[in-house]
Amino acid sequence: MVDTGLEAYRFSISWSRLIPNGRGPVNPKGLQYYNSLINELVSHGIQPHVTLCHDDVPQVLEDEYGGWLSEKIINDFIAYADICFKEFGDRVLHWTTVNEANVFALGGYDLGFTPPGRCSPHVGIGPCSRGNSSTEPYIVAHNMLLTHSSVFRLYKRKYKSTQHGFVGLNIFAYRFIPHTNATADEGATLRAYAFYLGWFISPLIFGDYPVTMKDRVGSRMPTFTRQESEQVKGAIDFIGLNHYATLHVKDRPSAFERDYRDFSTDAAIQLVFEQGGITPKGEYPWTQPGLRAVLEYFKKTYGNLPIYIHENGQTTPRNATLNDTGRVEYLHAYIRNLLDAMRNGSNVRGYFSWSFLDGLELLDGYKSAYGLYYVDLDDKNLTRYPKLSQQWYSNFLKGKSRKSNVNLEIGKEVSHSSESEFSS
């Protein structure tokens, strides 16, 4: 990290590693592990940015009361966060309660492709043994918002005056654009933003869900009491934003007329991903970066709240090549796009490239890679090799290059994996 020139590192704390039973005694080895990591970062001048929940909940709480499906998780999560603030808050200033809260609710409780894999049989992407896609995503989101705001209030009351830190929530954001110039598609695009972003951000800014969501979801949408609305409103120091690509939005009115409803049919939209002519299969397009548009939407709709870009990066097959020119092109285009947004007044406080190292990806396992460093999984020492993108990004951070096309020698090439393997 020091060699690359990084000033901050974002990681998550595993609730189960720190408190194996979800509540009660703290695991001393878990405490030691995170203290060692944080101390090592700080000793090298690298700011730790910590996420408290990244899709993982102690299994005992999942078994006992269904995890995020129950309001019981609020008090348990508050106690967990309290321990983290107490033990690590003297060195950690930036806290994120939940990573990609909107994806967590949808992937885990509507479509079933992320933990805990719940969905209705005829709705989910993967096979689900249990779940109700019509109601559970909204219940989980509601409990997340109540939990987040409770943790925010705890920090403000108990730790803010001495630790001077900040508490935020992370969400995933596509840039949405109408598929055609038709009025229906333009309206569908506004609904897409309301459902995917406003679902979590509107309560934190205005104290309630977007009107279009409440109208369409009806009685399945949980409601805030007056006290809860006051608790949630304003309970955020910053938004953590994960952004990768642009989606086109089509109006799909027939979906809203179905007997069985879930998040997608409530929104009555169809999302279309267009690869782009020059972009290799399996990579995100970089010719029309959408980060500025997303930031402009946030500024216009929710005010100029501080934003950290927590994730932005390019995907490639894991064993593709160290000469990852597509990632260089992507980073260059998106960072320039971010700079345009900042020049136009967006209150962006930091940018994290996803990811520093090739890792275990949530959806693809080890098939895809986002890292600036290649990790050789066939080597027992897990040797790391800098990719072209690492050298470009490092030069950029150190002010050594303003050019988009860098020509640097790579010491090692790795074999190409087949497209069919990547697409599977």
Separation between Cα atoms, residue 74 and residue 232, nearest integer Å = 13
Per annotation, catalytic residue among 62, 100, 136, 283: 100
Per annotation, catalytic residue among 62, 228, 311, 329: 311
Active-site residue flag, 7 = no
Among candidate residues 92, 117, 99, the one with its CA nearest the CA of residue 14: 99
The residues facing 269 across adjacent strands are 251
Among candidate residues 105, 267, 290, the one with its CA nearest the CA of residue 193: 267
Separation between Cα atoms, residue 167 and residue 149, nearest integer Å = 9
Separation between Cα atoms, residue 22 and residue 187, nearest integer Å = 43
Record the tokens describing residue 263, joined without a space. Answer: 């998040």
Residues in the chain: 424
Bond prior to 116 in cis (omega within 30° of 0): yes
Among candidate residues 217, 16, 228, the one with its CA nearest the CA of residue 115: 16
Q: Output the CA–CA distances (angstroms, integers) from residue 16 to 60, 69, 243, 315, in the order listed.
A: 9, 18, 28, 29
Record the tokens describing residue 420, joined without a space. Answer: 């069919």
Active-site residue flag, 228 = no
Separation between Cα atoms, residue 299 and residue 103, nearest integer Å = 22
φ and ψ at residue 187, rounded to 5 degrees: -65, -40
DSSP result, 180-202: SS-HHHHHHHHHHHIIIIIHHHH
Pairing of strands 238-242, 166-172: parallel
Residue with tokens 């994996």: 417
Question: Using alpha carbons only, what angle is made at residue 253 by residues 250 and 259, rounded to the nearest 5 degrees?
Answer: 130
Separation between Cα atoms, residue 133 and residue 141, nearest integer Å = 13
Separation between Cα atoms, residue 363 and residue 336, nearest integer Å = 28
Active-site annotation, residues = 100, 311
